[in-house]
Structure 1
Amino acid sequence: MIELGKKQTLLIVKSVEFGVYLAEDMNADTKHQVLLPAKQVPAGTKAGDKLEVFIYKDSQDRLIATTNEPLLMVGQAGLLKVKQVTRIGAFLDWGLEKDLLLPYHEQTTRIFEGQECLVAVYVDKSSRLCATMKVYPYLSKETPYKEGDQVKGRVYQISENFGVFVAVDNKYSALIPAREAKGKYRPGTVLDLRVTRVKEDGKMDVSDRQEAYLQINEDAENVLEIIEEFAGVLPFDDKASPEVIRREFGLSKNAFKRAVGHLLKEGKIQIKDRRIYLVK
């Protein structure tokens, strides 16, 4: 069976002026044959020879073979460059003559000509190869990393309930859990991350924060700066709700309490009347 979007080794069953026809066996009928255009046929090949080719569709929606190597195949995720943005979607350079369509309904954020975006290749309902930015199902769960490793991850989706979804190395499935996510995140941003857990299913939890004993100084400085923005008096203390703390500081309640404790120990702040005061 000739499979769309994949590489296959096929036999040359017939030569014509404009190329050769390939099939799985020499007796295949015409509907189970695919054309390899003449300009792609290696010199000296003949009927019965085997060729490794990639199968996609031409501009007239017909199956066609190529000896060129696509940057991504069906089911794979990776970075592709945007060549053109049109009314029907964006066209991406994936290494073949015909560009790959990223339909509007498969885009998760606005994209621009010339940028690189993380996508996966799939076959749509009309049996056409397309790209999607909804890459979660296509990321690998066979991570080579372990807890404590430093990695790079690209943000591709943000969820208030779950956290920040990232693709480590543009390939492996990872999540910054909501309780760990601080600050503002944007799809496409590449972050330096620390693996905090590798789950049984192979997915990773990651953090863009250092371990607590290293992070505390940075958090304390952040808290000090924001108290200064409140004219030296923060209108709540470390018993404020997690939502208020995250909104104002981008920190979890535990991280905030650690930072406040550190500043109290250093004598830089004081707490009274359920407020935090800067010590001048």
Structure 2
Amino acid sequence: MIQIGRYNDLPVLSQLPRGLQLDGGEFGEILLPKQYLQGDEQVGDVLRVFIYCDSEDRLIATTETPKVQVGEFAYLNVVDENRHGCFLDWGLSKDLFVPFSEQRHTLKKGGQALVRVYLDNSERIAASTKLDRFLEDIDDTNTFKQGDEVSIVAAEKSDLGLKVIVNGTHWGLIYANDLFETPKRGQERKAYIKRVREDQKLEISLRPLGFAKVEGLAGEVLQKLKKEGGYIAISDKSSPDAIKRVFKCSKNAYKQAIGTLYKQQLIKIEKDGIHLV
């Protein structure tokens, strides 16, 4: 079955002067315009294409690469507006529409917005900044477990830290004291479940939980790295005096500490110093 607003693998049915007719199953034949062809396509070939609606709401295929698909979140530029809403650049020739009814705050041309792409009741692709209605409360404590690796999208700062979207389905929070780096809004990256609270809220860590459990000199080195922006110009090749001046320890103790961090894949050791991974 065709998925509108997502990639589909469709067979070529026929060749026309204006492009290729693809087999859209229950949706009938779908045109792939000739400007998207490489020239060596044949009837019977199966092509990977993105399906969306043209300006007349007809299904059409493209080999262009959208910045986001239906069901996903993205941070996009507002490129136009009219009396019905605004339009976002999502990488295709036809811009992505955000109705006024789906704007948490009024969007203006030249701005940016974190949106979730969805299909409306007429199967047309649209976007919304009202993210809460797409994100669930956890109703099953087995959904997430402490230490699980997850995918997050940075959403917005709060008084407590940074709100993030977890696995495209739930809200999570990275507390300010855990933000040794701050992902850009809309940035997607991996993270870890730090805690599933009794109220079913998710606390998130950007590092594996071993990061929080490092104690002693290794913990002091981590704190120093966080304070210095992720880099310290002292490696295992530095002089004993330089190490003692900063960490008040012997060179051997320092090497053991950074060795512990290296084994946990928390740092990289370079000639010029050590870096958070």
Would you say same fold, with TM above 0.5?
A: yes
- Indicate yes or no: 2:46 matched with 1:50: yes
Task: Using the TM superposition, give the Cα deviation of residue 197 of structure 1 relative to its aligned residue in structure 2, in angstroms.
Answer: 2.5
CA distance in 2 between counterparts of 1:132 and 1:41 reads: 32
CA distance in 1 between counterparts of 2:145 and 2:112 reads: 25
- Contact 2:145 2:196 (C-alpha < 8 Å) held by counterparts: no
- Contact 2:144 2:193 (C-alpha < 8 Å) held by counterparts: no
What does 1:52-131 align with in structure 2 at a 5 Å threshold? 52-131=48-127
CA distance in 2 between counterparts of 1:199 and 1:65 reads: 45
Task: Using the TM superposition, give the Cα deviation of residue 55 of structure 1 relative to its aligned residue in structure 2, in angstroms.
Answer: 0.5
CA distance in 1 between counterparts of 2:73 and 2:153 reads: 16
Cα deviation, 1:19-40, whole Å, max 9, x if unaligned, reads: 000015xxx68x5110000111
Give the TM-score normalised by the residue count of structure 2: 0.55
- Indicate yes or no: 2:5 matched with 1:5: yes
Q: 30, 35, 39: which one pairs with 2:35?
A: 39
- Indicate yes or no: 2:174 matched with 1:173: no
Q: 195, 202, 205: which one pairs with 1:204?
A: 202
CA distance in 1 between counterparts of 2:109 and 2:167 reads: 20
- Indicate yes or no: 2:156 matched with 1:155: yes
Q: Secondary structure at the match of 1:102?
A: strand
| Aligned residue in 2 for 1:136 | 132
Task: Using the TM superposition, give the Cα deviation of residue 198 of structure 1 relative to its aligned residue in structure 2, in angstroms.
Answer: 3.2
CA distance in 1 between counterparts of 2:195 and 2:16 reads: 57
Task: Using the TM superposition, give the Cα deviation of residue 174 of structure 1 relative to its aligned residue in structure 2, in angstroms.
Answer: 2.9
Cα deviation, 1:186-212, whole Å, max 9, x if unaligned, reads: xxx96xxx97623599962369xxx9x
| Aligned residue in 1 for 2:22 | 22
CA distance in 2 between counterparts of 1:144 and 1:80 reads: 32
Task: Using the TM superposition, give the Cα deviation of residue 10 of structure 1 relative to its aligned residue in structure 2, in angstroms.
Answer: 0.5
RMSD: 4.2
Give the TM-score normalised by the residue count of structure 1: 0.55
CA distance in 1 between counterparts of 2:41 and 2:201 reads: 46
Task: Using the TM superposition, give the Cα deviation of residue 116 of structure 1 relative to its aligned residue in structure 2, in angstroms.
Answer: 2.0
Task: Using the TM superposition, give the Cα deviation of residue 127 of structure 1 relative to its aligned residue in structure 2, in angstroms.
Answer: 1.7
CA distance in 2 between counterparts of 1:197 and 1:104 reads: 37
Q: Which letter maps to 2:42?
A: K
Task: Using the TM superposition, give the Cα deviation of residue 104 of structure 1 relative to its aligned residue in structure 2, in angstroms.
Answer: 0.4
Q: Secondary structure at the match of 1:111?
A: coil
CA distance in 1 between counterparts of 2:45 and 2:200 reads: 42
Cα 1:77/1:90, change in 2 over 3 Å:
same
Task: Using the TM superposition, give the Cα deviation of residue 64 of structure 1 relative to its aligned residue in structure 2, in angstroms.
Answer: 0.3
Q: Which letter maps to 1:198?
A: V
Q: Secondary structure at the match of 2:42?
A: coil
Cα deviation, 1:99-122, whole Å, max 9, x if unaligned, reads: 010000000012222222110111
Q: Which letter maps to 2:106?
A: R
Percent of aligned positions that are identical: 34
Cα deviation, 1:243-276, whole Å, max 9, x if unaligned, reads: xxxxxxxxxxxxxxxxxxxxxxxxxxxxxxxxxx
- Contact 2:32 2:60 (C-alpha < 8 Å) held by counterparts: yes
**Structure 1: where are the runs of 5+ without partners?**
182-188, 212-280
Range with greater deviation from structure 2 (165-174 or 5-14): 165-174
Cα 1:101/1:143, change in 2 over 3 Å:
farther
Task: Using the TM superposition, give the Cα deviation of residue 169 of structure 1 relative to its aligned residue in structure 2, in angstroms.
Answer: 8.3
